[in-house]
Amino acid sequence: MSFVASLTQSSTTVNPNRTQIRLYDLALVMAASALVAMGLLMVYSASIALADGPKYANYGRYFFVMRHSIFVSVGIVVALLVWTVPLSWWQKMTWPLFGITAVLLILVLVPGIGREVNGARRWLSLGPVNFQPSELMKLVSVLFAAAYVLRKQHQMHSFVHGFLPMAFAMGFVGILLLLEPDLGALIVIMSIAMGVLFLGGINAKVFSFLVVVLMSMFLLLIWASPWRRARLFAYLDPWDDANMYGSAYQLSHSLIAIGRGEWFGVGLGSSVEKLHYLPEAHTDFILSVIGEELGFIGISLVVVLFAILVWRAFEIGRQSIALDRVFNGLVAQGVGVWFAVQAFINMGVCLGLLPTKGLTLPLVSYGGSGIVMNFVALALVARADYENRSMMCGGRA
């Protein structure tokens, strides 16, 4: 009897001297949750007046925020499912995932299958929703680059064996994205690949050569495309009359919105620019609405939250590599590169620091496949952190 009692007591009683380790990163979860909550609030504020215009006359006032809430809910469910899968399984599945995503990028270009909007073919119609394969490719490029570096870690200083195979794979993806065209997604995906290769120890000379080649290619693409060239010149002088009512229309109204916000904003829901002046106020230019309604303080809060998110992703990656889980570490840091680059470009465009480019603000802007892929990416980072903490507790990852 005493043996059973002592066994029961030992299984239910926690040693008070034992260190309790939280199995998730609190800063990561809090920063991501705050960005998602702000996104829901600002999508509601930025889109509520769209139903008053002719383009969205058949939509209700709460159409976009309801759909965004559904996408966020789906993203959370999918992220929880992804979190339960060990990262070792994702490592084995990198090539099949890359192949499937490449096929989807090809299908987008097929007439009758890919959906065209404003001259761009970027979506596959799946009944009531549209799926954007380039958003999936951002996630897959993180996994693919991390697995590639791990497989080629002893050849990363070789141009032929360490660099060329990755260059061919990313070049193929780049051609498909340019045919859509989707230069914004291409920039993010190339930045992810370059960032993971750099973190994986690629030869410095090869990396420098890669940066020069890619920058030259992007400049050539801009110069060879009249409408991209017009955007660049408009960005340099957005207040010129011809630019203000043409290629710089979005940029000029974005700057007006942020300027109206000053330090503390005009008040939540009181934006004027969202009243059919600023195009894509609930998607690409949602930061401008934040700046107008919440002011410098609101934009600063968004910057700080993204800084925390990226910092924790890199720190979790560093811990994984220290525990000899290199793939996990590169995946976490690759997600950090993804969020940092995309957020920087979106903010830079809204603030007039970069030419106009159609990229959403991760976790904040209205979206479907984009917001779901953001949640999945964070689930991979959280899984890497969970496996680290499990190992440090003496358990199995």
Asked whether the beta carbons of 317 and 332 are under 8 A apart, the reply is: yes
Residue 226: predicted pLDDT? 73
- pLDDT of res. 184: 87
- Specify the pLDDT at position 279: 87
Question: For the chain, which ranges sit under pLDDT 70?
Answer: 1-20, 118-119, 395-397
Which pTM does this prediction carry? 0.90
First to last CA, the chain: 37
List the structure tokens of 17: 């001297």
Contact 333, 200 (CB under 8 A): no
Q: Is 16 exposed, middle or buried (0-12, 13-18, 19+ CB in 10 A)?
A: exposed
Residue 3 CA, distance from chain mean position? 56
In contact, 173 and 99? CB cutoff 8 Å: no
pLDDT digits (tens, 9 = 90+) for 238-269: 887 777 777 788 888 899 999 999 999 999 98
